[in-house]
Structure 1
């Protein structure tokens, strides 16, 4: 594990950047690393984190940051790397190898360089040292005054290393080459007299004496007017010697060394991220002993910063290629890419060939170029390459050289060491770049508006630079207002314009380079949903055979206009907006969309028919013929897994059908995902498609689709505890069911109403609906639905303590599910049977059954019910006195349920965990869990679980000394449980005496 403080604060583990959290958290880590292996007092951390006034909770916040950092580092396997963040009395200590921190590496390299006698070696080591810097130390984690206070010694050491490196170059006679660098340094450090002295000497030795004297005068006036002092005696002496043209200032011409071309552009300011890519490129381009010229290409979509990355890597490699660095933009996306013959002519002149001696033919230029690069170590950077053919002729023949290429194309026909596929910045780096561009005084990485801007820019560096520059240069523009403007997809690309930078223009270059066939494919693919399209859907959209569609879309992948993931194609968000602009005027778009919708309708119906509650709807989709290999087999193997990938496209199709008046299609499409949404507990999506379907069914007066839609809306409302809406929808559905002529839909609706009544504590009504269900099923050959109904009726029996009938019905249901091979409902029904066995005192039997339930549900991928099964296991372990096992099961259940939308199940599990924690003596922890659970259960509409939670609250209040409060809670619990007829009401009288003792 490596740590970087010389720039943004980062941790790198096994080549991957670790997400260190929010800005203050990264700052705490930086302070610990600056004093690695030393005790850092908590008071010092507080003082530096809040330099103006610390809040009362400051020490607690620091402790939280330390705890989170410890978790982050542990997750990155820090212990294996010898890294540990420990608490120690009044402070904290970061234990790690100092050589893993870039600050210490930098200092060691500077010390090494000063001990070297050979100038080239000194330069190489100092280059390596300075390459460790990626901006100001501790960039973007602290206010500037605090940052300067902590890193002043580092900034001074960096400047000193720069000066020593420049001195070494000047001793080798490279005066002209360092003037540009010295001018930039002088502008950044206008009072640094050593830099001015170096600049004066370099200018004088380059026969620019007047410019050297002007540099002195600028410094003199600056010091005199602003500080009231004169330049140091040594600098005044240098001015006098330049005025006299002192011969001693000139180097002996015999000592001068001819420098090669140094054409790399300047580094991009505010450069964040990509460190892993930079390190990888540098390692790949270092010549090896295999006599093979190292070639690396960087590819990616427009706006990713490929050129900036190449320049950054190239500058780190300067010391490895002392004979020069050639750089050229090949204009690969312009209508006229550079001709290789013209490029070679320029390269030859840069390598010292007189213009008159440049050969006239391409073949001769290639030969002379390879001759001039032979025996030399030169880095060639070919930016924005068009094709493999353009690049091949520009590659030296000497394995001591190296070639770095950037291109929007993937250049797969080129032999190279590696193709580095660049992607967008991850969210933390993108936030850091934006805040670095704008300034932490105006924007923080934890600003919600900044986070929204980053998301809307899709992590694209060019887009972030445009919006960052806008915010920085326009004080009246706020992150909030800019985020609001970017929210509108219709005008987002209009906002991403700044000066000569424009996202749309960048995309246009790539689009214009396509032929008409590929431009059409690019436009029509704008119909794809956010999560992209599989290959068969691409063929449907383009209305071509599979092989043709594959060729077209893979060509678009090669030029980085479309992204490919396993089994899927998609756009970057901004590229998709651009494609949609192009699609707006395409007359074939509506036909293409209908082809796509019909394909999803056909395949969605097939997948739905294989789900537990699927296959209820009665309609024949349009026949869809495809030649894509394996699609139908993929659906048959895993219909739910297929829908996991494809439901966003079906949702988008439903929204479009509803908005454009295709009412019957809206109902049909909605029906293909309803059972899937129940399976995945995606109740908001089920509610949405149900409401769209209900409105559509009303417009074309369909009793069948109205009844079906009312069922879907009611089910979604029931599962989100909106019982009023559920009752309205179910009753409306029951009224229209006779006209729908679908007895199975009647069964499904009656069963759903019964479950809703049971959940609300109206158990007599629930029993009537379950009995009605079973009555209708007598005339139907539907064993699965009979098993569902028996299960739900058995649950009601166990609520009432009717253990024998509950077990009888549950075992019959399990038998049916076993014959059907339905693991999900075997597991769900075994859970209920396990509770029944615990209810009759058979704890060992309960444990065995519940373990089988958990395993079956886990195998079926039903997270919601697996979490519930773990909760039941916790209760059985608790009954057996196995409190550690009970706690582990409850906590695991919580972890799983937090991944679902089952807030009710989560609350019930929190109550169970509270009881377990009280068993183990952790009263405060129990109070936290209990309060979370009670907040949800008070508004859940479930009187039984609310009553059970109040019993647990009575126990908690008793243990904390509040006997009166405990008695009030017990009385309220008894009332709730008696009202619904729950068997737990009969247990309360005994609990009351045990919990509250004498009357308060």
Structure 2
């Protein structure tokens, strides 16, 4: 039976209305429904039914009669029970059968959801209201007295929905509803403030300011107060036309539109028509053609025009397809996921999982993805969302015939009229010398890149006429004529720009060609050039002015520089091999110095021991910033460090190869870039072997083992760790030995080899007793505590975990203290201390949520659901479990999600819904049976046995429990005792 109190008080059985009797009887029911599953004193029912204090002597009898009649109504249903409880009554039912509890549940889920999902959930919640709560069953005074909290909750949900819509830039959709709500509640300042902001965003600023003045008058006349400071500040910001008041709904990564863009109108119109046609697949469009035709410029301009169709954001990435090292799709997906709100700790390890999470994050969103400079079809397939509301715009030198495209635009050179207009826009004085400008256009072959270089030269040399430049180009006719034939035509244009540079600029142009394709910061250019930072910045800006360098942004530095592909190729032709070697010698020293300092700041960095060369650059602020923002610096520079590792390995500079690899290993682990970690570890291992260095060999083997373990290649992982441990005594690095042993222990624990894991953890703690490494000791304590918990050794587990938590708190590490605290909460529940368990798990969940660790927050929610299930609080268990699955689904934690599905199966079985329960259980089983985790495989078989037993399949249940017994007994899990009791019973 279902009930509604958010409006008229009603009941429904199988969708049909149920007669609830007279008004007073319906009112008594409403009070009981609002206090479902709680004790309601008879005196309170009397007080509310006769609010004037004139209850008749027969009041208690009247209430009893109404209760009896309600029991008769409920006799039609077996899921509602109205019982006498002391001097009062209790209505027992699933609270989600009552609309008010569904309303609160939806609001709670909305608070934990992303904005789009929050809006959907709140709209679903508000749709439950069919009028004023408890209407038609009580006087207005009594109704307001009882239902005031509900009305406040409704207004709160309405405001939350308005707030989410405003964050998503959807003010036009809600403006009328928002205005009505503000009119109905003129003194509710935050509600009126939302109306003011919405009006301003809709270019109705005079109305917004007038609304503020009305609020000011209302508050002054009725309450004698001024608007709140935040509301007053909103008025000031509107008067100042503060741009930050505009909505931000997602990543906005498009580069600036190209200045003086000319032509391509037909292509822009074509692109506009190809996107948003309502097809069931994403619009994937490619722009292809030979170098220098302005493919990126066209894509960027089209993307800016299309941006309004994709309000949830625009992603942009240069895939480096024209260079020797195209970007790894896994790395690109990692960046996209971070831009879409995924924390580093939640990044999946494998490419396949990243693809799934990326498509999940793009679902129900309108995103435009611009993939610039693509290498081939294989690189692109992983980066295309599955949502038809998304669009993908690709540029490439290749035609990409193997890709499923909606259309392909193959660019040709600019028409003469457009090329002349482009040149005139770049250098206005060229229009006055029409014939000379036509000659320049002819020699440039209609290539926008060549024309822009020429226009920049004319703009930067006011003393030189257009005719003079045309004559110079003609003198180099033998090379410039080749512009019609391909790359060599562009080279001639580059030569013209190069010869116009000052000697210092020419040297910088040549030497910077040695820099990696990923771009570089000014400090790195200063090191490469051997100049001071001020001189280098002047040289860089000079090259930018003549369009020989381009600018971008990084995580660490506001400006990063890079060459256009073709200009870089031309510059490298002028770079001698000795200059290239000298540049990388200087850069390598800098990366060793700064990389070591950055690595030392990472959560589990600072393992390696070597003395780097001094930094050949007077930049103390740089060093301090690198230490303060180490992850951001490594995010920008790790591609260059990886390139330096490759160069050092190729040059057989073994010591440098090992040291450079060490500076970037912890960062690659932090960002889950396991393929990159594997590569540098392989190079480092080869170099260390040639040097016969026990230290560097053991370090490389540790990194190889770690990468293999996280890629679930346990055979390679075990071999690498074993080989490393064999030579670690000669490495004379106790901490490296501890870290390796810990990693081996975790690997064994993952595979159910607990005795071996325990031996490794014990060895670690014994070694750490003599080392001043509190973070690693806390980590070892936590791992050992988890293992003791698995075995049911509660006292030992609590001892280890408590010490780990205390250490993490002393270090200020809130996240790992919460991670360890979750384990302690599980132990409290296993010991039967539910109050302590709930308190500990709730605190851990909140800390993990605040730290942005969604994956582990989902695990804490799952534990809270389990605790509620054990206590018989099935609705609470269901709510927590649903939150857990939603959170874990977002992070693509396949193992954690499977465990939550098993738990949902148990909860639904307890709620009397075995069909839904079995569906959840089967989803969990499908993963856990092949996961290689014997403990959770055994636990899932335990649950399967309960389901089969409930279905009357005794033999099937026993077979499942025997499988569980086999798994859990073999590894020594404490849950084996439960299975044994079932088998013996």
TM-score by length of 2: 0.51
1:950 pairs, out of 936, 941, 954, with: 941
Report the equivalent of 2:713.
722
Shift of 1:697: 0.7
SS of 1:563's equivalent? strand
After superposition, the C-alpha distances for 1:847-866 in whole angstroms (9 at most, x for unaligned) are: 33234334444555556544
**Residues 390-401 of structure 1: pairs in structure 2 closer than 5 A:** none
Determine the C-alpha separation between the residues in 2 that align with 1:391 and 1:964.
94
Shift of 1:533: 2.1
Shift of 1:698: 0.5
CA contact (8 A) 2:593 2:614 kept: yes
Report the equivalent of 2:189.
none
After superposition, the C-alpha distances for 1:660-718 in whole angstroms (9 at most, x for unaligned) are: 21111111112222233333333333322222221111111001111222222222233
Determine the C-alpha separation between the residues in 2 that align with 1:939 and 1:969.
16
When residues 786 and 393 of structure 1 are mapped into structure 2, their CA distance, relative to the original with a 3 A threshold, is closer
1:897 pairs, out of 870, 878, 891, with: 891
Shift of 1:521: 2.7
After superposition, the C-alpha distances for 1:173-220 in whole angstroms (9 at most, x for unaligned) are: xxxxxxxxxxxxxxxxxxxxxxxxxxxxxxxxxxxxxxxxxxxxxxxx
Q: Does 1:649 align with 2:640?
A: yes
2:551 pairs, out of 563, 569, 583, with: 563
After superposition, the C-alpha distances for 1:606-646 in whole angstroms (9 at most, x for unaligned) are: 12223333222221111113233632222332333432333
Determine the C-alpha separation between the residues in 1 that align with 2:848 and 2:934.
27
SS of 1:780's equivalent? coil
SS of 2:821's equivalent? helix
Report the equivalent of 1:782.
773
CA contact (8 A) 2:424 2:430 kept: no
After superposition, the C-alpha distances for 1:902-948 in whole angstroms (9 at most, x for unaligned) are: 65445445544555676678878767765565454344322112222
Q: Does 1:134 align with 2:128?
A: no
After superposition, the C-alpha distances for 1:101-135 in whole angstroms (9 at most, x for unaligned) are: xxxxxxxxxxxxxxxxxxxxxxxxxxxxx999934
CA contact (8 A) 2:862 2:900 kept: yes
When residues 851 and 557 of structure 1 are mapped into structure 2, their CA distance, relative to the original with a 3 A threshold, is farther
Report the equivalent of 1:536.
523
Determine the C-alpha separation between the residues in 1 that align with 2:743 and 2:949.
40
Higher relative contact order (CA 8 A, sep 6+): 2
SS of 2:269's equivalent? coil
Report the equivalent of 1:806.
797
**Residues 428-577 of structure 1: pairs in structure 2 closer than 5 A:** 514-560=501-547, 561-565=549-553, 567-571=558-562, 574-575=565-566
Report the equivalent of 2:433.
342
SS of 2:928's equivalent? helix
Determine the C-alpha separation between the residues in 2 that align with 1:515 and 1:920.
81
CA contact (8 A) 2:590 2:615 kept: yes
Deviates more, 1:541-550 or 1:741-750: 741-750
Report the equivalent of 1:669.
660
CA contact (8 A) 2:454 2:497 kept: no
CA contact (8 A) 1:327 1:383 kept: no
Q: Does 1:709 align with 2:700?
A: yes
Report the equivalent of 2:751.
760
Report the equivalent of 2:730.
739
Determine the C-alpha separation between the residues in 1 that align with 2:485 and 2:976.
70
SS of 1:615's equivalent? coil
Q: Does 1:697 align with 2:697?
A: no
Determine the C-alpha separation between the residues in 1 that align with 2:955 and 2:564.
60
Q: Does 1:593 align with 2:584?
A: yes
CA contact (8 A) 1:532 1:568 kept: no
Determine the C-alpha separation between the residues in 2 that align with 1:826 and 1:820.
10
1:640 pairs, out of 615, 618, 631, with: 631
CA contact (8 A) 1:531 1:570 kept: no
Report the equivalent of 2:881.
887
After superposition, the C-alpha distances for 1:739-785 in whole angstroms (9 at most, x for unaligned) are: 11222222222222222222222222222222222222333333333
Report the equivalent of 1:274.
301
CA contact (8 A) 1:666 1:692 kept: yes
SS of 2:975's equivalent? helix
Determine the C-alpha separation between the residues in 1 that align with 2:173 and 2:485.
45
CA contact (8 A) 1:918 1:956 kept: yes
TM-score by length of 1: 0.50
CA contact (8 A) 1:601 1:669 kept: yes
When residues 772 and 516 of structure 1 are mapped into structure 2, their CA distance, relative to the original with a 3 A threshold, is same
Shift of 1:795: 0.7
Determine the C-alpha separation between the residues in 2 that align with 1:742 and 1:877.
47
Deviates more, 1:668-677 or 1:627-636: 627-636
CA contact (8 A) 2:778 2:807 kept: yes
When residues 553 and 857 of structure 1 are mapped into structure 2, their CA distance, relative to the original with a 3 A threshold, is farther
Q: Does 1:630 align with 2:621?
A: yes
Determine the C-alpha separation between the residues in 1 that align with 2:524 and 2:453.
38
Equivalenced residues, count: 583
* Higher CA-based Rg: 1
Listed as ranges, the gaps of 5+ residues in structure 2 are 1-164, 176-201, 203-264, 280-293, 308-371, 374-394, 398-410, 439-451, 466-482
Determine the C-alpha separation between the residues in 2 that align with 1:383 and 1:577.
17
When residues 333 and 849 of structure 1 are mapped into structure 2, their CA distance, relative to the original with a 3 A threshold, is same
CA contact (8 A) 1:385 1:391 kept: no
Determine the C-alpha separation between the residues in 2 that align with 1:710 and 1:131.
57
Listed as ranges, the gaps of 5+ residues in structure 1 are 1-72, 84-99, 101-129, 145-266, 281-299, 316-325, 348-380, 395-495, 995-1000
Report the equivalent of 2:609.
618
Determine the C-alpha separation between the residues in 2 that align with 1:517 and 1:304.
34
When residues 962 and 504 of structure 1 are mapped into structure 2, their CA distance, relative to the original with a 3 A threshold, is farther
SS of 1:708's equivalent? helix
Determine the C-alpha separation between the residues in 2 that align with 1:984 and 1:579.
68
After superposition, the C-alpha distances for 1:21-58 in whole angstroms (9 at most, x for unaligned) are: xxxxxxxxxxxxxxxxxxxxxxxxxxxxxxxxxxxxxx
When residues 385 and 532 of structure 1 are mapped into structure 2, their CA distance, relative to the original with a 3 A threshold, is closer
Determine the C-alpha separation between the residues in 2 that align with 1:345 and 1:719.
64
Report the equivalent of 2:760.
769
CA contact (8 A) 2:514 2:572 kept: no
CA contact (8 A) 1:911 1:934 kept: yes
SS of 2:552's equivalent? strand
CA contact (8 A) 2:510 2:571 kept: yes
Determine the C-alpha separation between the residues in 1 that align with 2:976 and 2:784.
20
When residues 77 and 989 of structure 1 are mapped into structure 2, their CA distance, relative to the original with a 3 A threshold, is farther
When residues 805 and 271 of structure 1 are mapped into structure 2, their CA distance, relative to the original with a 3 A threshold, is closer
Report the equivalent of 2:785.
794
Determine the C-alpha separation between the residues in 1 that align with 2:885 and 2:684.
40
CA contact (8 A) 2:742 2:764 kept: yes
Determine the C-alpha separation between the residues in 1 that align with 2:493 and 2:900.
53
Report the equivalent of 1:825.
816
Shift of 1:588: 0.8
When residues 592 and 917 of structure 1 are mapped into structure 2, their CA distance, relative to the original with a 3 A threshold, is farther
**Residues 67-86 of structure 1: pairs in structure 2 closer than 5 A:** 80-81=172-173
Shift of 1:819: 1.8
